[in-house]
A = this chain, B = another copy of it.
């Protein structure tokens, strides 16, 4: 899985690099660990943001946080910081994995969007997939158009679909990787 901070769009649809949010690291790492995600990539090309993320991780993985809350360590050690989606894919390849297919999420529906049940079945084949989530107002159109697959949006009941990225990740992981028998 990857949480993208660049290229994403702002409120006006302009391409920006968003700032990393501390709780995105914690919440999404904990959800990743719960649902069995192999790695949680935090993607930002900004050097100060990369340094900040590394500092937070090291506090919880090797610093005093690791002794204070070992359960948090288990989650945060899934995080890997990279410059771009290309660098993420290179890292996956360097670890001896097959080339992953890329899947993007969006609050908008596209003609080629696929459903959660379909993606769940794709994951169950064992083939590698890189699932990308956007921060700010969402992934750039370039990332969406380059992806192999687009997931359906979470629409909800009342025409309001403005979940935080932390909520969207949690719900989507539950839908595609959650234990069936506990639902």
Interface string of A56-96 (1 = CB under 8 A from B): 00000000000001011011000000000000000000000
CB distance from A35 to the nearest CB of B (A): 6
Interface size (A, Cβ < 8 Å)? 42
Q: Which residues of B contact A69 (CB under 8 A)?
A: 11
| Residues A36 and B157 in contact, CB atoms below 8 Å apart | yes
Q: Is A117 positioned at the interface, with any CB of B under 8 Å from its CB?
A: yes
Nearest B residue (CB) for A164: B27
- From 135 to 183 in chain A, residues with beta carbon under 8 angstroms from any chain B beta carbon are 152, 154-158, 160-164, 166-171, 174-175, 177-179, 182-183
Q: Which residues of B contact A26 (CB under 8 A)?
A: 164
Q: Which residues of B contact A167 (CB under 8 A)?
A: 27, 30-31, 34, 166-167, 169-170
| Residues A166 and B27 in contact, CB atoms below 8 Å apart | yes
- From 113 to 146 in chain A, residues with beta carbon under 8 angstroms from any chain B beta carbon are 115-117
CB distance from A165 to the nearest CB of B (A): 9
Contact (A162, B116) CB under 8 Å given A27-B167, A177-B157: no
| Residues B175 and A174 in contact, CB atoms below 8 Å apart | yes
Instruction: Specify which of B34, B115, B154 is in contact with A162 (CB 8 Å cutoff).
Output: B34
Nearest B residue (CB) for A36: B157
Q: Is A50 positioned at the interface, with any CB of B under 8 Å from its CB?
A: no
| Residues B74 and A35 in contact, CB atoms below 8 Å apart | no
| Residues B115 and A152 in contact, CB atoms below 8 Å apart | no
| Residues B74 and A160 in contact, CB atoms below 8 Å apart | yes
Please name 4 further chain A to chain B contacts, defined as beta carbons within 8 Å, in addition to the given A34-B160, A170-B171, sorted by A numbering.
A11-B69, A23-B166, A34-B163, A71-B162
